[in-house]
Structures are given as C-alpha cells and as structure tokens.
Amino acid sequence: MNRIILIGNGFDLAQDLKTSYKDFIDDYWNKKSDKIIQMYKHHIALHHGAIPLKPYEDNDIVVELTDNGSFHDNIANGDTGFERFRFLISRFRNMKDNDNLNIKNIFLSTITNRQLYYWVDIEEEYYKSLKICLDTEDPRSIKALNKEFDSLQIALEEYLKGQININKQKAETIYQKIYYPLTLGNKWIGDGRYEHLLFLNFNYTNNIKLNHSLHKSSKLINIHGELNNPENAVIFGYGDELDEKYKLIEQLNDNEYLKNMKSIKYLQARKYHELLAFIDSDDYQIFSMGHSCGISDRTLLNKLFEHKNCKSIKPFYHQKEDGTDNFTDLTINISRNFNDKSLFRERVINKLDCEPLL
C-alpha cells in the first residue's frame, strides 16, 4: 500500500509562510499605497506644488489626486491593505467628490469588496463570474473577465516569488506525522509500512522540497505548477466538471470559457498523468494536510477519493487558539467531492482517530 499527502495552503501557513490570499491582497493594496506616496513625493520635489497632481493610473485602477495639503506619508489607518489604501487616497480627494477611486478590473473589485480569505474562494468567485457571463451571452464579457483574472494571476506570481526566498523554520511535528505507520482508523495495516509516498502539492511554493529531504521511495508532484518553471507553469483557475452548468459551458463552443479550467491546463504538463499512474499502481491512503478540499478542485479530488484503490482519507485539521477546530468544515468539503456518499462514510477517518496538523 502507498500513501498520498495532499499539501494545501494550510501546510505553508503552519510554517509561517505568508502565502494566504489575505497576505497577497494586503500586499497588493499596500504596494498601490507605496506607489501613490512615491508619485506624490516626486511631484512635490519636481514642481513644489505649482502644477496640479495628475491622476494615478495602472492596468487595474485610476485614482484622481488633489493636493489639499492634508497628506502625511505616515498615515495608514485600517485593518486591511485595501482599507489603508482607501484612507490614504482619501487625503487627496476633492471634498466635493464622494470617491476618487475607479477600479477598472471588475473581478479585482468584486473579490476585494467581498473580503474573501481563502484561495478556493477566489477560484469559486471566478466560476460564479464565468456563469454570469454565460447568462448574459455577451462574448465580450468573458474575454474581459479572463483578462482581469490573468492580471491577478501575474500579480500573485510576483508576490509568491518574493515569499519563496524567505527561509522559515520547518515544523518538525508535521514531518513526523507524514511518516506515521499505515492504519485504518486506529488499527495498523499489516506491519504498518507503506511502499511509496507521494507528496501531491497544490501550492505554488516548493516548501515541502526546500524543508524536507525526500526519501528515494518518495515522489513529489506539483500538480498546480511551479513558479519560474515554464515546463510546469502555474495553474490558477477552476476545476469542477461535475457542476450542473459545466455541460452548458462546453456546448457554447467558445474556447474562452474553458481557458482557465484546470482539467485543460493539466494537459500542458505531465503531472496529472504521473498522478494517474501512481493511483493505478497500488492501494493507497490519503493524508490531507492543510488542504481545504474545496470544490474548485472537485474533478481531481473526486478521482482520488472514489478510485477503487483509495482505502482511507485522514484529514489533519486546524486547531484554533480558542479551542475550536475546522474538522467538521473539512469533512463537509470532502463530502462534496464524493458522488457516492456511502464511500464517503466508509473512507473518511472519524475525528477520534484524527488530529491537528500542528
């Protein structure tokens, strides 16, 4: 029997890497704030206030700027990067105007205003927006959405490139759990030894490889791609072919609607077929470590969870400081990836035989 370790964003977060969606979007708006400040300082140094400020504009936003003398670069009120950005630009607003910000990237505006927290939420929001495009039957809208989504992916990759060079101390307790003996619930399987170990990494970072010397019987598959690797490019999109509207999307005969579907993007590299070869080779159990098991990966997870060789699924849950945990949420998410609910109940390990990731 083999073991598959599902590596999700929670795996990196448990080791203090700043790779959550909230980390990224805060940094995104903080950088916008920095650019506004730099632009203002350069303008004052060059013109000494004799010439009005020009609007700040980039691919995603336009900010009307009026020098009303109330700006100080140490002003940064707000709990989020966006709140701090809005407070900053309010210091440049003509008091007769209600707003001086125009977010041209509508998808960016949607996810910012809804204050989403998880990567799966962003991918699900993309799919919701795609279905709205489907309902409007306007070919220009899906092209605009994909252009906006591409802009976000470029910004995400740039942010994560800055994170992968930050050395973090690995959490030894997590790596100890990776090598637990084979069990079904609390009972050992045979002598408890597994033949091969597969790290199925859904992150874009390579934290598992940087902090862990892979044994010769181990294999690493970066199923969602890697930064700085054109042969296994980053896959950011949606992966639920089981959704009732997916068939309608396919029948449109408009390739733009399928551009960011993970199943299509998997064919750009060998990784998906390497995964299929592994799960077909022998029985296996699954350890889910930091993966939300959300429906944006349902096509792939359904294949893993309902495969005839899958014998058990053990979710390692997040224990919160207040004593609560997300075990129930995790198992609900896992259930959505099963068509056969009987298999779900048989294969998912009960909470008493599970434990926190940390």
Torsion angles phi and psi, residue 272, rounded to 5:
-65, -40
Is pLDDT above 60 for 135?
yes
Q: Which structural domain, as residue segments, surrounds residue 212?
A: 2-16+165-353
Counting beta carbons within 10 angstroms of the beta carbon of residue 144, is it exposed (0 to 12), middle (13 to 18) or buried (19 or more)? Answer: middle
| Residues 7 and 32 both lie in one domain | no
pTM of the model: 0.91
- What was the pLDDT predicted at 323? 92
Q: Are 293 and 333 in contact (CB under 8 A)?
A: yes
Give per-residue pLDDT as tens, 105-115: 999 999 998 87
| Residues 43 and 8 both lie in one domain | no
Is pLDDT above 90 for 125?
yes
Is pLDDT above 60 for 66?
yes
Query: Which among 62, 89, 106 is the end of a domain?
Result: 106
Which tokens sit at 264?
Answer: 């299509």
> Is residue 270 one of the residues assigned to a domain?
yes
Pairing of strands 2-7, 197-201: parallel
Query: Which among 106, 126, 153 is the end of a domain?
Result: 106
| Residues 235 and 297 both lie in one domain | yes
| Residues 76 and 185 both lie in one domain | no
Report the residue count for the chain. 358
Query: Which among 89, 106, 123 is the end of a domain?
Result: 106
Give the position of tokens 């969870």. Answer: 305
> Is residue 304 one of the residues assigned to a domain?
yes
Which tokens sit at 250?
Answer: 């396919």
Mean pLDDT of 16-24: 90
Beta-strand ranges (E) seen in the chain are: 2-7, 56-57, 61-63, 101-103, 183-184, 187-188, 197-201, 218-222, 284-289, 310-316
Mean pLDDT across the chain, nearest whole number? 90
Count the domains in the chain: 2
Confidence of residue 187 (pLDDT cuts 50, 70, 90): confident
Amino acid sitting at position 156: L
